[in-house]
């Protein structure tokens, strides 16, 4: 009698993976059906749907309720600033999106005989962080739907309640406006790495904001992926800076949402000739300068076994001061200055702190300041951004020319300017690409162009062929034609 093989038993991990794939198959089916129903939408209809998504989170009552829920769920940030974030980022992104065409012909170049047509990229899988569990999902949904795509959102475990709520609001607003609700979906709870991985495997484009582990997993998935890098923003305070104005902007940016933004200042590099005056200005703006002993106490509480302590990051200044054992004077401060002299693993304050602690370096001159900024970014934050407070634009241009970062902000509050502002030209976003320097596929702020494919219609034009002499002439003049 022939041997009859027995199927290998299915382990719990394999069983869960099968369940996750089945869940994703259902969500993907709904997403593709919604895209099919939306495929013929005009630009006016698309923009109406984008407005619906924006209003879902921008409406004042919802903006507040989602902010309160986010702080309650995650323990990160503060309610007033999250309200601002929910509204300001949404409003700015809506402005950018409504000024762009993403349906039909979006560009014509008669001289080259080229006409460009925008098409959807497909179903977007959006992995979102706990720091912005409402604003980031809404931001990505608006961009995705602007390109006539559907989006499935993977929330962070800590933020899944808030993210699920904002998705419910967006779906309800889509229905109210007469658009397919399944253009926007969310992974069902409980969120897991397995379910998030199943989304990455199933979707057409992955967009990741959050942990670098998720970014790396997205790039390994085999699907087109857009990830963002780690923030660790260093800012130079130049000799010519308006110190009072610089201190006010640094304070506003550093304390916004208790420094949850990847664009918050993490280090100041102050020129030696204005160092004391700059520190005085920062103190006047609400900063507390820690002593060496206090620096050690902050370090011991802010990091536990080499990892940031979730009990202290993104907390109010009074909580930070109390938990680190700072004196009563410090408990009236808004942020905390820690003088640092080195960069690297042995100097944890040189990295991203996700808290109201701000490292301060002294530099003998502008050359030394650039070197220090380069060291900080090489340790953490490669490609992300840096800034300078100066009246000397040649210094600002040097930073842009010499440093491998995507954004250099001049005389701006980083947390408000880096992801787009009404007084700079950067696109509004909550996801900042860091180029290949930061291991990313884009070197710009995430925007609608990342959510469309382009078909190029090419027609015949008068021949545009230069002579051999026009192309090789300068080379022949310098080097000859060779043997």
Count Cα atoms within 13 angstroms, Cβ side, for 18.
Answer: 6
Q: Which of 379, 383, 363, 359 is closest to 440 using CA atoms? A: 383
pLDDT at position 40: 97
Q: Is residue 432 domain-resident? A: no
Residue span of the structural domain in which 271 resides: 233-416
Strands 383-389, 405-410: pairing kind: parallel
Q: Is residue 3 domain-resident? A: no
- Total number of residues shown for the chain: 483
User: Phi and psi (nearest 5°) for 407?
Assistant: -130, 135
| Stretches in the chain below the pLDDT threshold 50 | 1-8
Q: Is residue 282 domain-resident? A: yes
Distance (Å, whole) CA 349 – CA 310: 16
Pair 359, 272: CB distance under 8 Å: no
Q: Are residues 281 and 146 in the same domain?
A: no
Distance (Å, whole) CA 72 – CA 391: 42
Q: Are residues 217 and 293 in the same domain?
A: no
pLDDT at position 7: 47
Q: Are residues 374 and 349 in the same domain?
A: yes
Q: Are residues 139 and 82 in the same domain?
A: yes
pLDDT at position 12: 61
pLDDT at position 212: 86
- pTM equals 0.94
Pair 142, 102: CB distance under 8 Å: no
262 is catalytic: yes
Q: Are residues 263 and 402 in the same domain?
A: yes
Q: Is residue 479 domain-resident? A: no
Distance (Å, whole) CA 121 – CA 395: 41
CA angle 301, 307, 308 (to 5 degrees): 55
The number of domains in the chain is 2
Q: Are residues 38 and 122 in the same domain?
A: yes
Q: Is residue 476 domain-resident? A: no
CATH number at residue 277: 3.40.309.10
Q: Is residue 452 domain-resident? A: yes
Q: Are residues 249 and 206 in the same domain?
A: no
pLDDT at position 181: 98
Q: Are residues 182 and 249 in the same domain?
A: no
CATH number at residue 452: 3.40.605.10
Q: Which of 128, 262, 386, 434 is catalytic?
A: 262
Q: Is residue 217 domain-resident? A: yes
Q: Are residues 182 and 256 in the same domain?
A: no
Q: Give the DSSP letter of residue 46.
A: H
Q: Are residues 297 and 361 in the same domain?
A: yes
Q: Which of 365, 396, 416 is the last residue of a domain?
A: 416
Distance (Å, whole) CA 257 – CA 239: 30
Distance of CA 245 to the CA centre of its chain: 26
Find all residues with CB under 8 Å of 412, minimum gap 6, and list them.
Answer: 249, 387, 421, 424
Q: Which of 54, 172, 131, 65 is closest to 431 using CA atoms? A: 131
Q: Are residues 295 and 275 in the same domain?
A: yes
pLDDT at position 8: 47
Strand partners, 288: 336
Q: Are residues 242 and 117 in the same domain?
A: no
Q: Is residue 426 domain-resident? A: no
């Amino acid at each position: 009698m022939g041997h009859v093989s027995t199927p290998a038993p299915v382990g719990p991990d394999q069983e869960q993976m099968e369940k996750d794939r089945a869940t994703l198959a259902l969500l993907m089916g709904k997403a593709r059906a919604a895209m099919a129903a939306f495929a013929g939408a005009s630009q006016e209809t698309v923009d109406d749907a984008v407005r619906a998504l924006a209003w879902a989170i921008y409406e004042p009552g919802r903006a507040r309720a989602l902010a309160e829920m986010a702080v309650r769920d995650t323990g990160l940030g503060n309610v007033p600033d999250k309200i601002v974030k929910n509204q300001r980022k949404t409003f700015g992104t809506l402005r950018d999106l409504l000024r762009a065409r993403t349906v039909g012909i979006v560009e014509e170049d008669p001289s080259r005989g080229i006409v460009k047509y925008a098409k959807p990229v497909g179903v977007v899988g959006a992995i979102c962080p706990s720091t912005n569990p409402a604003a980031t999902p809404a931001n990505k949904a608006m961009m995705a739907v602007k390109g006539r795509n559907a989006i499935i959102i993977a929330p962070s475990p800590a933020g899944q309640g808030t993210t699920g709520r904002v998705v419910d609001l967006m779906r309800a607003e889509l229905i109210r406006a007469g658009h397919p609700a399944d253009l926007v979906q969310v992974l069902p709870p409980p969120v897991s790495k397995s379910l998030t991985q199943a989304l990455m495997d199933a979707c057409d484009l992955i967009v990741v904001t959050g942990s670098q582990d998720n970014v790396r997993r997205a790039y390994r998935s085999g699907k087109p992926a857009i990830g963002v890098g780690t923030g660790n923003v260093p800012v130079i305070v130049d000799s010519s800076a308006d110190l009072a104005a610089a201190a006010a902007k640094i304070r506003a940016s550093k304390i916004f949402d208790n420094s949850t933004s990847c664009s918050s200042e993490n280090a100041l590099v102050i020129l030696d000739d204005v160092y004391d005056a700059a520190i005085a200005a920062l103190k006047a703006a609400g900063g507390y300068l820690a002593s060496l002993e206090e620096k050690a106490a902050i370090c011991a509480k802010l990091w536990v076994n080499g990892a940031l302590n979730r009990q202290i990051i993104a907390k109010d200044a009074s909580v930070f001061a109390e938990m680190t054992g700072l004196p009563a004077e410090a408990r009236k401060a808004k942020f905390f200055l820690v003088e640092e002299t080195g960069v690297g693993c042995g100097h944890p304050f040189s990295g991203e702190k996700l808290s109201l602690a701000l490292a301060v370096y002294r530099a003998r001159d502008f050359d030394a300041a650039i070197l220090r900024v380069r060291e900080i970014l090489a340790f953490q934050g490669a490609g992300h951004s840096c800034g300078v407070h100066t009246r000397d634009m040649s210094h600002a241009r040097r930073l842009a020319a010499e440093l491998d970062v995507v954004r250099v902000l001049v005389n701006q509050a980083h947390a408000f300017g880096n992801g787009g502002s009404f007084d700079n030209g950067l696109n509004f976003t909550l996801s900042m690409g860091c180029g290949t320097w930061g291991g990313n596929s884009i070197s710009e702020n995430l925007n609608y162009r990342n959510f469309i494919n382009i078909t190029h219609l090419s027609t015949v034009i008068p021949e545009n062929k230069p002579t051999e002499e026009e192309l090789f002439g300068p080379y022949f003049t310098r080097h000859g034609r060779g043997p």
